Amino acid sequence: MRQISDLLAILTQLATEHRKLLDQLDAQHAAMKKFDLTAMADVMTRHQATRLRINELENKRRGAMKQITAVLKLNEELKLTKLAQLFPPQAASLMKARDDLRDLAAKISRRTQGSARLASAVLGHLNTVVRLFAGAVERAGIYTRQGIPRVASRVGVMDAVG
């Protein structure tokens, strides 16, 4: 059946794009560790292009599944396992494509969680720096040798107004 071979081609393309995305996530993680802003920006543009291709392929996959469902005159939405049962000659390749995509999706999920934790830690440190800097600006004046701001003896008109 031609629709099955089209579906297999789409699944293969999806797996290829997911591998690209995983490689890009690894590159992003490495750039984040080095705090290489140009590399991070480059990877982000490649991420967006890869995600768009994945979305297009996913829409094609859904369309192919709808075509197969219509040809078989089924009422429910087909899953790859059910499709493999209906077409035993292509069952092995369909199950291999499904397993490859599941494995890649799990790896991408783990890498994304790691990058999110790293980004969260960096943002937490930057937040602390900004708060410390804002506090120092707010209490500008004379500092002791220990680095503690000394409070002015009287409150000026500008300080009272705010």
Tokens 């999920």 locate to 109
* pLDDT tens, residue by residue, 35-75: 888 998 999 999 999 999 999 999 999 999 999 888 888 88
Q: Is the pLDDT of residue 80 over 80?
A: yes
Task: Please give the CATH number for the structural domain made up of 2-161.
Answer: 1.20.58
Rounded to whole angstroms, what are the CA distances from 154 to 66, 149, 151, 159? 78, 15, 8, 10
Residue 88 has a pLDDT of 87
- In terms of average pLDDT, the best of 16-20, 111-115, 126-130 is 16-20
Instruction: Report domain extents, the chain.
Output: 2-161
What's the chain's Rg over C-alpha atoms? Answer: 28
Give the pLDDT confidence of 89-126 residue by residue, as tens digits.
888 999 999 999 999 999 999 888 877 887 788 788 88
- What's the DSSP call for residue 139? T
Choose the most confident range, by mean pLDDT, from 5-19, 119-133, 140-154.
5-19
- Residue 94 contacts residue 80 (beta carbons within 8 Å): yes
DSSP, collapsed to helix, strand or coil, labels residue 143 as: strand
Rounded CA gap, 136 and 79, in Å?
61
Query: Which amino acid belongs to residue 112?
Result: T
What's residue 32's pLDDT?
A: 83
